[in-house]
Amino acid sequence: MVGSRQSVPSWLSAATTRVDFEENVSSMTSSSEQHHYEKALPDFNLGFGERAFSAAGAAAISAILVNPLDIAKTRLQAQAAGVPYQGLCTACFDTNTMLPDLRSSTSSTRAVLGSEPMCPQDCNRYKGTLDVLYKVVRQEGFARLWRGTNASLALAVPTVGIYLPCYDIFRNSMEDFTTRSAPNLTPYVPLVAGSVARSLACVSCYPVELARTRMQAFKETQTGVKPPGVWKTLLEVIKPVKSTNLLQNLQSYRILWTGLGAQLARDVPFSAICWSTLEPIRRRILGLVGDEASAPCILGANFSGGFVAGILAAAATCPLDVAKTRKQIEKNPARALKMTTRETLLEIWRDGGMKGLFTGIGPRVARAGPSVGIVVSFYEVVKIKQSYTSSSRQD
């Protein structure tokens, strides 16, 4: 079976009891029980398809729950990049709605006297995460907080479905090799396995990531018009560079991977930091639990490790996330293809300094912590459940 191993995975080595989902824990005192437990562990008898199914379910739940924070992060970063958001002033919004006659009279008076408008210039700007969420709900509707969720699902399911199973398989293979040949390299296995697996997933599904960012960044200005979906958004990206020449058309499709370098520059270190932080944390927690490792303990260990690792990785890679967003929302195809990640980061630094490089760090960190925790804990528990189901059928 794909990804099978002959030894207990490192993060579960501390759990010396058999776990069942009725929350009963029985000590393994005989070699036959030990053998049965090892067979039941998910890394022993789950194939790539079963792993992918577990990961896809985890990704779907996470994508739905944290999408509003993704909206807030993307809009703050797009605003810093120069995307205009008109009509955000809630004071003006209230005046326009409740006192139209007074508004008209006031506007006329200002036009005659040449006085300054009532609202300051920064009134039509998002001021933070909560301000984005409030204004989106107030002016675009509560459902718009889940704008791009279909793209998030279309992205998360295949991406995580590739990412986590590949990480498992790479980690298991590398740990087997390093344990035999170079034990001193074993602690670095999660870092390498996570980086390689994330790169594969990122390249495979990048156009949908591009569509999602653009769907979340741009506000629909026409009332009553349904915003474009994933497919229409991608067609709008391709449209300016399309020609009658087939060869040129094939080359123009490179625009769908605009910002891929920035995405890899963000995701590879994110994954490396995340897994190299997560593995020791959950191994330490399971080690403290010892003989009482029940299903809730495994769930808690994975969620806690994922939560901390997600926060640290998100904070460290925020500047690269800002660069990725800026490249993805660039509407000039020639400029989008020409600018490198380094040039984009320098441009962000010139425009906003250190603050510009960390635009949107609040919602990004708030999103990444629970997202990684949910995905990893759900994935591991579903793997164990599937493993027991498969094991009981065989018995």
Residue 25 counted as domain residue: no
Q: Say yes or no: 184 and 115 in one domain.
A: no
Structure confidence at residue 368 (pLDDT): 93
Residue 110 counted as domain residue: yes
Residue 324 counted as domain residue: yes
Annotate the chain with three-state secondary structure.
CCCCCCCCCHHHCCCCEEECCCCCEEECCCHHHHHHHHHHCHHHHCCHHHHHHHHHHHHHHHHHHHHHHHHHHHHHHHHHCCCCCCCCCHHHHHHHHHCHHHHHHHHHHHHHHCCCCCCCHHHHCCCCHHHHHHHHHHHHCHHHHHCCHHHHHHHHHHHHHHHHHHHHHHHHHHHHHHHHHCHHHHHHHHHHHHHHHHHHHHHHHHHHHHHHHHHHHCCCCCCCCCCCCHHHHHHHHHHHHCCCCHHHHHHHHHHHHCCHHHHHHHHHHHHHHHHHHHHHHHHHHHHHHHHHCCHHHHHHHHHHHHHHHHHHHHHHCHHHHHHHHHHHHCCCHHHHHHCCHHHHHHHHHHHHHHHHHCCCHHHHHHHHHHHHHHHHHHHHHHHHHHHHHHHHHHC
Q: Say yes or no: 196 and 258 in one domain.
A: yes
**Gap between the Cα atoms of 240 and 331, Å rounded:** 9
Question: Domain end: 65, 98, 124, which one?
Answer: 124
β-strands 25-27, 17-19 pairing: antiparallel
**Gap between the Cα atoms of 242 and 114, Å rounded:** 47
Q: Say yes or no: 186 and 237 in one domain.
A: yes
**Gap between the Cα atoms of 236 and 203, Å rounded:** 21
Residue 164 counted as domain residue: yes
Planar angle of CA 52, 55, 60, nearest 5 degrees: 120
Q: Say yes or no: 237 and 277 in one domain.
A: yes
Q: Say yes or no: 95 and 116 in one domain.
A: yes
Structure confidence at residue 100 (pLDDT): 40
Q: Say yes or no: 131 and 118 in one domain.
A: no
Using only the alpha carbons of the chain, give its radius of gyration.
25
Tens-binned pLDDT, residue by residue, of the chain (395 aa):
334 444 444 444 444 333 333 334 333 333 433 333 333 344 545 666 777 777 777 778 888 888 899 889 999 999 888 887 766 665 554 444 433 443 344 444 344 444 444 556 666 788 889 998 998 888 888 888 887 777 777 777 777 778 888 888 899 899 999 999 988 998 889 889 988 998 988 888 888 888 888 888 877 655 556 667 778 888 877 776 655 666 666 666 777 887 788 888 998 899 889 989 998 998 888 888 776 667 788 888 899 999 999 999 999 999 999 999 998 888 787 787 788 889 999 999 999 999 999 999 999 999 999 999 988 888 887 777 766 666 666 65
Structure confidence at residue 114 (pLDDT): 46
Q: Say yes or no: 183 and 109 in one domain.
A: no
Q: Say yes or no: 309 and 368 in one domain.
A: yes
> Which residues neighbour 312 within 8 Å (Cβ) at sequence distance 6 or greater?
273, 274, 277
Residue 4 counted as domain residue: no
Residue 2 counted as domain residue: no
Q: Say yes or no: 224 and 354 in one domain.
A: yes
Q: Say yes or no: 146 and 275 in one domain.
A: yes
The number of folded domains in the chain is 2
- How far CA 198 is from CA of 50, 129, 395, in Å, comes to 19, 28, 36
Residues 200 and 162: beta-carbon distance below 8 Å: yes
Structure confidence at residue 218 (pLDDT): 77
Helices 230-238 and 149-181, packing angle to 10 deg: 90
Residues 312 and 277: beta-carbon distance below 8 Å: yes
Residue 187 belongs to domain with CATH number = 1.50.40.10
What is the sign, positive or negative, of the torsion defined by CA atoms of 323, 324, 325, 331?
positive
Structure confidence at residue 365 (pLDDT): 94
Residue 6 counted as domain residue: no
Residue 3 counted as domain residue: no
The pair of three-digit structure tokens given for residue 117, joined into one six-digit string: 């408008």
Structure confidence at residue 107 (pLDDT): 42
Q: Say yes or no: 201 and 93 in one domain.
A: no
Helices 318-329 and 189-217, packing angle to 10 deg: 40
Q: For residue 111, count other CB atoms closer than 10 A to its CB.
A: 9
> By residue range, what is the domain housing residue 105?
89-124
Q: Say yes or no: 112 and 131 in one domain.
A: no
